[in-house]
Amino acid sequence: MNNRVYGLARVSSKDQNLERQIKSLIENGCDERFIFVEKQSGKDFNRDQYLILKNALRENDLLVIKSIDRLGRNYNMIINEWRDITLNIKADIKVIDMPLLDTTQHKDLLGNFISDLILQVLSYVAEQERTFIKQRQREGIDIAKTKGVKFGRKRIERPTGWIDVIKRWKNNEITAREAMKLLDLKQSTFYKLVSEDK
Among candidate residues 12, 13, 24, 67, the one labeled active-site is 12
User: CA 131, CA 156: separation in Å to the nearest integer?
Assistant: 35
188 is catalytic: no
Which residues carry out catalysis?
12
